[in-house]
Structure formats: C-alpha cells, structure tokens
Structure 1
Amino acid sequence: MSPRTKEQNEEIRKQRTQEILQAAILVYAEKGYAASEIGDIAERAGLARGLVYHYFKNKQTLFRELYTYMMEGTNRFTKSHFEQEGSAFDLFHTYARLVCNQVLEKPAISRFYMRISLDVHYLFTPEEFSPFDWMKGFMRPMTEAIEKGMSQQSIRQGDASLMAAQFWGGVSQGMNYLDRLQQELLSQEIPVQEQRERLEAAIKQVVDSALAIIRPA
C-alpha cells in the first residue's frame, strides 16, 4: 500500500477535526461546558479518546476552536444574507424565519448559540475576547440593512443601531421560547401534526414581534 500523500493527510485531518467539532456541539447542547468531557466527545464522534487529544490538547483548546468556527460561520451567513438585493424589510423577515426554523430543525446548534455566551469566560481572557466588540461586529450587517431600508422607506425611521439590537433581541428571546416549547411538546407526546401547528404559530408570533421593531408606520 502506497503511503498517503500530504494532501490526503490534510484531508483526513480536516475530516477528523470536523467530526470532533460536530460531536462537541451535541455534547455541549446536552451538558454545557463544565460537564462536557473529552471522553464524551470522543464517544459521540466514534473516535478513540487519544485521537481527540491528537487534534486538541485539552477541552479548552477544543472549545476555543469550536467557538471561533461557529461564530465565524454565523458572521458569514448574516453578512451574506443582508448583502442580498431586494427589500430590506423582506430580508429581515426571511432572516428571522430562518433562524427560528433552525431551532426546530437543528436544536443542538441553536442551543450552542443560546448558551455559549455564558461560558465564554472559560475559553478566553477579557484581553483575548470582548463580547461587546463581537456583538457589535455581528450586528453591523443588520444596522447597515436598516439604514438601507430607511432610504427605501421599507423600514421606519429611527436609530439604526438600536433597532438592530431590538430586532435581534426579539429573535433571540423567541429562539429560547421555541426551544423550550418544542421540548415540552415532545415530552407530552402530543401528535406530530398538532406539534407542527403549535410551533408554526409560535414562530409566526416571534417573527411578527421582531419585525414590529422595524415595520414602517
């Protein structure tokens, strides 16, 4: 058997890293940072514990990379979404629905985003990471889209930064509610069709409430 090439080794490294990070999301969603263990992540990934340590020297290193990976993905998605052409108001409507739908379709990912802000202090020192600066950067595409919407008259006039923060606050609180509601409905063994109807009604209310912040008079 021929030895693997440098390119093949790199591809394997990327694949293993992804497997570990995806497993870490699932474990974190269930246990949070403090209770998550490398052994749990290895088991969920279907890998030997020692192999995980080959890629990440400890739990903090793993979760630092996971945090960076997830947040960079969020920033890219949000930026590309609000750079699309069309009505700014419609872009906010679509964004809110996409985010809410993810809570139901990929609950572990949504729980990661909802909980990780409480655990950032385990991963970074204040000098290494500023939650305020990160949030300001994350909100920038929304703020710019609101300013564009004002010029289009598809969004009411006001302080664009404040309105972006209020919109996202409504969506993020709605995400928490949807997650709890879905878990409650599953625990009660309510028929699937009724679950879908109640969840869809809740999504609509969350989206409508968030959009009320920017809706033109």
Structure 2
Amino acid sequence: MAWSGRGDRKDVGIVRKKDKRERILKAAVDVFFEKGFYEATVEEIATRAGVGKGTVYEYFANKEQLFKEMFQEGVDAYLQAIRTQLLGEPGSAQEILTRFAHIHIGFVEKHLSLAALIFEGQRGPLYWLRDWWRQIKEKKVAVIRRVIENGVTQGEFRPVDPRVAAEAFLGLLAVSQLPLVLQERIKPGSASSRETLEQLLDIFFNGLLSK
C-alpha cells in the first residue's frame, strides 16, 4: 500500500510511539508485580518491553513517574469500565451497586497483576502515592454515594449517611478481592472471590439481624 503523503507517515509515527509507550507500561506492570517497586529497574522494564533503556526515559522522567502513570492508566481503565457498563443502564440502587461490585471483581480478575499493585500501593511504603490515591478513591466514593443517595430518596434504602455507606461498600469490595490480589491458595471447600462477594452483598443489603 502506497503512502499518500507526509500526513500518513506522521500518523504512523504517532501510532508507533503510542505502541512503544503501551509496551513499556505493560512491561512495567509485570516487572513491578514480580520484583516490587524498589527492586525493579528501568533497565529490566526496557528489556521486557523490547526497547532500549534510553527509550523509556523518552516517555517517563524516572521510575517514580513510570510507576505513577502505570497506576493512572489502570485506574482510568477501571473508571471507564464503571462508566460504560454501569451508569448507562437502568435499575434500582441495589441492582446498580450489585453491578458495580461484579464489574469491580471482573476487572480484578482480568488485570490481576495491576490490581495487586494498586492494592499494595494503597498500604505499602510508597508514601508519595498516598495523596494521589486518596483523590482516586474520592472519585469512586462519589459514584457510590450518588447511587446510595438516590436509593434513600426513592425509599429503597432507609435513611443512612451516604458517605459512610459508600465507604462500607468499598470495604466490601476490598475484602472480596483479597484471595485474588494476594494470590492465596484456595483450600478445598473455600469460597471463591465471587462467592465471597455474593455473601458480602447479602450482608450489606440485608444486615445480620434475623427478620
């Protein structure tokens, strides 16, 4: 196929640059997951991505920026999945929150290495990520809080503090994903993450007290 002009060559160059950046980010997920932030090296990430070490620095100023942008890409993909699969569909507040929970677990299952890194980033020694992570968490809380507020307004939920309820819901998701992100061995008869999720959703919506 013949090139039609400089515009085509420029477009191809942009695509190749984007492809290199994506390869570096994907390699970063694998290397950071295997080695941890402090043991991972830019050189190893470059080798895994099939590029030179200098090429990595063309896209990222240092290892910290690469790690943070890797996080950002993952969180953006997560939030986009929530927006496209959740908010555009009708349903009761309970149905929407249940879909949210299953989308969350589905994302963790599909992007397990990244999910494990995000989990470690929230609680580990990467203090320079904490303020940024709190901002991301607030976006998730805002989505859940809005759904709960609508449920209270419609009389579906009893009057509760919507922020506290949203925080509790996020805690439910965190607990349900632990066997996945920590790669715990599932003993015979143990509940899977999805089975655990269903039990936690039942407790969240129906409580512990017998009717």
1:51, 1:134 → 2: CA distance? 29
- Which amino acid in 2 is paired with 1:148? N
1:134, 1:103 → 2: CA distance? 16
Picking from 72, 78, 81, the partner of 1:77 is 81
Structure 1 residue 88: Cα displacement: 1.8
Picking from 48, 55, 61, the partner of 2:59 is 55
Structure 1 residue 166: Cα displacement: 0.2
Do the aligned partners of 2:23 and 2:49 also contact (CA within 8 Å) in 1? yes
Structure 1 residue 90: Cα displacement: 1.3
Aligned residues: 202
1:21 counterpart = 2:25:
yes
State the TM-score, normalizing by the size of structure 2: 0.79
1:102, 1:15 → 2: CA distance? 22
1:209, 1:95 → 2: CA distance? 14
Structure 1 residue 183: Cα displacement: 4.1
1:184 counterpart = 2:190:
no
In structure 2, the CA distance between the partners of 1:119 and 1:77, relative to structure 1 (3 Å rule), is: farther
1:208: which partner in 2?
A: 199
Q: Give the number of the structure with larger relative contact order, counting CA–CA contacts within 8 Å between residues 6 or more apart.
A: 1
**Structure 1 gap ranges (5+):** none
Do the aligned partners of 1:168 and 1:210 also contact (CA within 8 Å) in 2? no
In structure 2, the CA distance between the partners of 1:68 and 1:119, relative to structure 1 (3 Å rule), is: farther
1:8: which partner in 2?
A: 12
Do the aligned partners of 2:33 and 2:113 also contact (CA within 8 Å) in 1? yes
In structure 2, the CA distance between the partners of 1:119 and 1:8, relative to structure 1 (3 Å rule), is: farther
2:159, 2:89 → 1: CA distance? 21
Do the aligned partners of 1:154 and 1:215 also contact (CA within 8 Å) in 2? no
- Which amino acid in 2 is paired with 1:109? L
| RMSD between superposed Cα atoms in Å | 2.9
In structure 2, the CA distance between the partners of 1:152 and 1:206, relative to structure 1 (3 Å rule), is: same
Structure 1 residue 119: Cα displacement: 5.2
1:103-144 residue CA offsets vs partner (Å, 9 max, x unmatched): 3443212212211223553458xxxx4543432222101100
- Which amino acid in 2 is paired with 1:134? I
1:161 counterpart = 2:166:
no
1:92, 1:203 → 2: CA distance? 15
State the TM-score, normalizing by the size of structure 1: 0.77
Identity %: 21
Picking from 158, 173, 187, the partner of 1:171 is 173
Structure 1 residue 147: Cα displacement: 1.2
Do the aligned partners of 1:25 and 1:108 also contact (CA within 8 Å) in 2? yes
1:32-70 residue CA offsets vs partner (Å, 9 max, x unmatched): 211221122122223232322232232122122222222
Do the aligned partners of 2:30 and 2:113 also contact (CA within 8 Å) in 1? yes
